[in-house]
Structure 1
């Protein structure tokens, strides 16, 4: 991705409003598909939205939120064949919207972006939910002039099923451990920039698992472009550069990380995890200094 494309992505990500989420998410695919014709994919997504709207309006009663949700799910997941990619969950293609639309499979967050884009055009009031370990969608209980009903929590990865709070608590336990405590704050809405950051973090993890360190570092560049204050991403970009043998770049990032975190680390000197992380990075820095010195 060129600097101009990165700047365009950041501008789109930070532009007010949620309606261009799919367009912004599609720009990430340029990391893998530099010659992507994004307009063609957006047109395909619009045709999908048009077909879905025709089906739902013909099948669901006006003002019936649950009916609209059920018909939306039937069309997207049964008729159109979108499904969660359980068998190849870590495949980077699951994070690229053009691939998800073509292959009809993805991970929770990309399937949710398609669901949000199409469902909003059907007339539903939808928002993302940054639930730990598994992205979800909320449907507000309002449609047209009908009386408001209860909000619905939906899981596009599993066919758009409606989840109860008990279902969400069980899902949290699977992803975060039995000791994790469910609270309604975990179902807070996720906005465009938050969703894009989560997409990028997922993609960075997928590339790192494949040992595609150069691509993972490109993702870190985008994350830092979105949030230049992120110490975690500064650290990760340095560690990825280290894995690539780019010792000068790694040293610059990790020394800056240590300088910015030193005060925090001293303030929490009794925090074992903080101390161990700081010391681990410090060992990398000492090793890098010796390597860089030997090359001069």
Structure 2
């Protein structure tokens, strides 16, 4: 798969609705868009095998237990505690090979398997950490893909929320702490992580790519184009920065805010 082919996949997914969002294929396309000409088939094979195994387990186990045992025990998908900042931890193809990564990537395999096995699950955009919400006969529960898919009790969710800086009256609201997000938003969360990491390393080309992927996945949102513009400006690609700012303005960014940015870039061009 080439970078252009990856862009085509993300563009089509961005124009489609939420039902049937091709999460795994979009995540593969995101990885290829960053580093093209790699073989994504091992990631697909892992996902296929995990879905089949999960369906077998779910026939005799509770949904949460089946997911944990399948993904963390059978297929050894887990968080990378020792090398948390390793670049491969945010790349789905690398994670499929290493079986280690960040929760924002691991949750994609959990979600894909759950969908294909007929289980009800969704990502939870928890502060600083992506969790998995699983519907069970006893009610929804939270799993942590980074920590061997273990169950996260409500009291621990509150403690984590308080450590993340949420106010006590919010940290006590289980309905807020476990609010599900769409598969599209789960993948966008991963791109946000990549954008932040790229900026911290002054990898402005990588920051631009991750911001562009967010723009393709959610074409009605003006904010990714502001990040594209910022990354291009830092690379000296000033004409491209102006084009991105114009896209943001057309999608709803306040005109005054865009004018200030455009004036700054034009001054550099002159």
Structure 1 residue 178: Cα displacement: 5.6
Shift in alpha-carbon separation, 1:11–1:79, aligned structure 2, 3 A: same
Structure 1 residue 200: Cα displacement: 1.3
Q: How far apart in 1 are the matches of 2:118 and 2:253?
A: 47
1:195 aligns with 2:179: no
Match of 1:268 in 2: none
Q: Greater Rg, structure 1 or structure 2?
A: 1
CA contact (8 A) 2:6 2:30 kept: no
Q: Secondary structure at the match of 1:135?
A: strand
Shift in alpha-carbon separation, 1:190–1:39, aligned structure 2, 3 A: same
Shift in alpha-carbon separation, 1:9–1:207, aligned structure 2, 3 A: same
Shift in alpha-carbon separation, 1:80–1:205, aligned structure 2, 3 A: same
Q: How far apart in 1 are the matches of 2:83 and 2:184?
A: 26
Q: How far apart in 2 are the matches of 1:18 and 1:262?
A: 33
Match of 1:171 in 2: 160
Q: How far apart in 2 are the matches of 1:252 and 1:89?
A: 35
Alignment of structure 1 residues 70-81 onto 2, 5 Å: 70-81=65-76
Higher alpha-carbon deviation: 173-182 or 230-239 = 173-182
Q: How far apart in 2 are the matches of 1:180 and 1:199?
A: 28
Q: How far apart in 2 are the matches of 1:161 and 1:155?
A: 5
Q: What do the CA deviations read for 1:193-248 (whole angstroms, capped 9, x no partner)? A: 21121121111112222221112102222222233443332221111111111122
Match of 1:9 in 2: 10
Q: CA RMSD in A?
A: 3.0
Q: Secondary structure at the match of 1:181?
A: helix
Q: Say which structure, 1 or 2, has more relative contact order (CA 8 Å, 6+ apart).
A: 2
Shift in alpha-carbon separation, 1:37–1:19, aligned structure 2, 3 A: same
Q: How far apart in 2 are the matches of 1:71 and 1:5?
A: 32
Q: How far apart in 2 are the matches of 1:79 and 1:241?
A: 43
Structure 1 residue 70: Cα displacement: 2.8
- Following TM superposition, the consecutive aligned residue runs of length 4 or more in structure 1 with deviations greater than 6 angstroms are none
Q: How far apart in 1 are the matches of 2:93 and 2:5?
A: 21
Consecutive unaligned residues of structure 1, counting only runs of 5 or more, are 142-147, 266-277
Q: How far apart in 1 are the matches of 2:110 and 2:235?
A: 37
